[in-house]
């Protein structure tokens, strides 16, 4: 997410993040400090349709960079059209380019969402994870 896309991320995330001031502060931090993470957006005919946030950490277990996914949201009028799946698939490709060794997803206990991640190769444990082989 670049600075110009911040408004689109805000519009999507304000649907589920109630404290607008904290959301604005977090999005500013994503823009100002891309080394901390980023917000990945999906558009449908030029309209912001979905988003997910990514935060980085260093893992001594995987010996590299770990990306934690949070805030997955597909706008209600864009659901059930493959946009969430496309968002996650393209994001995984981007994280692979960034040499991320593992992706973790912090998800609510919602069966449909967990099934979506499982279908994309995430394994359930303490967190939903998928390893990106770097060796």
**How confident is the model over 7-47, as pLDDT tens digits?**
999 999 999 999 999 999 999 999 999 999 999 999 999 99
Domain membership of residue 14 as a residue range: 3-131
Strands 64-74 and 100-105: parallel
Q: What is the DSSP-derived secondary structure letter of residue 76?
A: G
pLDDT in tens, 75-96: 999 999 999 999 999 999 999 9
In total, how many domains does the chain have? 1
Whole-model pTM: value is 0.86
**CATH code assigned at 62:** 3.40.630.30
Three-state secondary structure of 83-106: HHHHHHHHHHHHHHHCCEEEEEEC
């Amino acid at each position: 997410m670049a600075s110009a896309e911040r408004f689109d991320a805000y519009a999507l995330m304000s649907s589920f993040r109630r404290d607008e001031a904290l959301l604005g502060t977090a999005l500013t931090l994503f823009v100002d400090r891309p080394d901390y993470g980023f917000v990945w957006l999906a558009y449908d005919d030029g309209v912001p349709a979905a988003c997910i946030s990514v935060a980085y950490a260093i893992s001594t277990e995987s010996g590299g960079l770990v990306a934690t996914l949070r805030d997955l949201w597909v706008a209600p009028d864009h659901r059930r059209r493959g946009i969430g799946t496309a968002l996650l698939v393209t994001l995984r490709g981007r994280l692979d380019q960034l040499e991320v060794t593992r992706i973790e997803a912090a998800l609510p206990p919602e069966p449909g969402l967990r099934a979506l991640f499982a279908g994309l190769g995430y394994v359930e444990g303490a967190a939903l994870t998928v390893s990106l082989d770097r060796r």
